[in-house]
Amino acid sequence: MSRPFLALIVLGAAAACTNAGSYHAAQSANHSEASAMHGSAAAGDSVATVVAVPLIVSGSALLVSGAAIQSSTTSPAPPPTRTPNGPPAL
Amino acid sequence: MKRFMKLCAAVAMTLLPVGAMAGSSAAGNPILPAAEVATFADRVQNDLASRGARVAIVSRMGRDPAQMPDGILYTHVAFWVYSQITLADGSRGQGYRVYNLYQREGDRMVSDLVQDSPAEFFAGAQRLDTGIIIPEPALQRKLLAVINSPTYAALHNPRYSVLANPLTPQFQNCTEHTLDVLMAAIYDTRDSAQIRANISAYFHPQIVEVGGLKRALATMASEALTTADHGPVVATATFGSLSRFMQSYQLTSDVYRITPTTISRF
């Protein structure tokens, strides 16, 4: 198995996990790609190592995507389009 | 991979307080003995009637409070409206009808507006303990007008989230719908954007302590635990935040708590 092919396997597994585990799939994709590169570097030793890598990578990708959610979210409330009426009063 | 996802969901449900916030569901079968539930429901009805409440905001403890996030006791709120009830045998009497927003069975990301009885309302309780807000009489009249108008349904957003952000219109839960109806009554409007502007200016939602990883895990446990409508801080409408808001603007005539044996003020 060539290294690029192994990298594709790892990349696919990691991306599938982050897509399922996070609704910020676009943000997760970057992390998955980085994780996949790490996986492909470790994949040259043996087939057994390669098989284990996607699981490890996908786990770490999930953790990263969780952190990404916290750090990347923007203001939840767009500025109100209306002016408030004033404090509630009966 | 499926096992890994299931494991994450299990971890989320056991470790995360937000996982304990199951949301607002109609109870198929009572969790507690039906006779106890019915007796408690009648106790609450009689208490409300003795205080002359035509409209009240009543809450339900759908989860063990020890499992709930800090500052949150109740999992569901609804309007109770004093009404003329026609029984199955055709006889008529006075009692309360409950105006709920419930998660849909089989699709927890969707809600429906459902009327039921006080006993059905408490059928979903883990513990017979309720927090009650009786609005000022003038506000009760305004609330009644909104509940009996098309505005009540128009303010319903069926996209459900347990932790819906009341400052945005993306999702809604039972407490947020209650808040929207309340704002419609106070400001005499059905304009959702105007209601949102007033909520943003004057209402302070309950902050729920949950970090980024926990938020991701919670979503895996249930899509209805999404926090996609929140920024770094998760905050949602609760019975407590509703009562604080209403009390700070002198909109209540009573805020109290009923259990099977006690009636107390918060």
* Cβ <8 Å between B197 and A66: no
Which residues on chain B are in Cβ contact (under 8 Å) with A81?
Answer: 193, 197
Domain of A40, in residue numbers: 3-72
- Structure tokens, A65: 């995507």
The CA distance from A60 to the nearest CA of chain B, in Å, is 11
Question: What angle, 0 to 180 degrees and rounded to 10, lies between the N-to-C axes of helices A47-72 and A25-42?
Answer: 150
pLDDT digits (tens, 9 = 90+) for B78-129: 999 999 988 889 999 999 999 999 999 889 899 999 999 999 999 989 999 9
Is A81 within the bounds of a domain?
no
Query: Closest-CA residue in chain A for B182?
Result: A88
For B216, nearest residue in chain A (alpha carbons):
A66
Enter the ipTM. 0.82
Closest CA to B136 of B28, B21, B40, B52: B52
Taking CA atoms, A29 is separated from A36, A51, A53, A65, in Å, by: 10, 21, 17, 9
Q: Where is average pLDDT lowest: B12-21, B39-48, B242-251?
A: B12-21
Q: How far is B69 from chain A (nearest CA, A)?
A: 19
pLDDT digits (tens, 9 = 90+) for A31-58: 333 333 333 333 334 444 444 444 433 4
Q: Is residue A79 part of a domain?
A: no
B180 touches chain A (CB under 8 A): no
The pair of structure tokens assigned to B50 is 């003795």
**How far apart (Å, rounded) are the C-alpha atoms in residues B237 and B214?**
20
DSSP for B173-230?
Answer: -HHHHHHHHHHHHHHT---HHHHHHHHHHH--PEEE---HHHHHHHHHH-GGG--TT-
For A67, name the nearest residue in chain B, comparing CA atoms only: B212
- Counting the structural domains of chain A, the total is 1
Nearest to A80 among B200, B231, B251 (CB): B200
Cα A84 to Cα A54, B169, B187: the distances in Å are: 52, 16, 10
- pTM higher than 0.80, yes or no? no
* Three-state secondary structure call for residue B110: strand
**For residue A44, is it within any domain?**
yes
Is A90 within a domain?
A: no
Contact A21 B186 (CB under 8 A): no
Question: Which of B138, B202, B216 lies nearest to residue A90, judging by beta carbons?
Answer: B138
Confidence of residue A90 (pLDDT cuts 50, 70, 90): confident
With CA atoms as reference, the chain A residue closest to B171 would be: A76
